[in-house]
Amino acid sequence: MKTQREVVSHALQRRRALEALRSPRVDLNAPASCDADPMLVRAALHHGEEMDIPCPVCESPRLTLLRYTYGRQLGQFSGRIRTAEELEEMETEFGEFRVYEVEVCPDCLWNHIVTHYILGDGRRRRPPRHQQTVEDIYG
């Protein structure tokens, strides 16, 4: 991706969460790392891209990567999952939007944000016109 900027890696938080899972002492105040929302797991099963590495918790080969896109210029399409090919197309169509990459294991419910970054050509644009969806028609 040519316009990728402001890349933030969450590798240190990921490593800390994995160490906490493997630690013999139990911290009741720590957030649970293997508590993926059912909708996130469903999205991983149907829209995710399989990763080449096994799950760091259960060693399952089904570790999946999701790329969520958010931005004012995306309009009603903000918050949707996109593939790498779609992101390359969107780079020239939109001025600026943020991408969050999340890894999800549907077997043990491990989930963690891997990176987030900004894409787009930097030119300011209006969001696309609102298109009617099934929710608009049937409520």
Closest alpha carbon to 111 in 49, 44, 53: 44
List Cβ neighbours of 28 (8 Å cut-off, separation of 6 or more).
Answer: none
Closest alpha carbon to 127 in 68, 74, 70, 91: 74
Q: What is the mean pLDDT of residues 72-79?
A: 88
Helix (H, G, I), strand (E, B) or coil at 11: helix
pLDDT band at residue 40 using 50, 70 and 90 as cut-offs:
very high
Q: What is the mean pLDDT of residues 34-54?
A: 92
Mean pLDDT of the chain: 87
pLDDT band at residue 32 using 50, 70 and 90 as cut-offs:
low
Asked if the model's pLDDT at residue 69 lies above 70, the reply is yes
For residue 17 the two structure tokens come to 């969460």
Asked if the model's pLDDT at residue 70 lies above 70, the reply is yes
Separation between Cα atoms, residue 51 and residue 38, nearest integer Å = 20
Separation between Cα atoms, residue 107 and residue 99, nearest integer Å = 25
What pLDDT is recorded for position 56?
92
What pLDDT is recorded for position 132?
76
Asked if the model's pLDDT at residue 26 lies above 70, the reply is no
Convert the pLDDT of each residue in 125-136 to its tens digit: 777 777 777 777
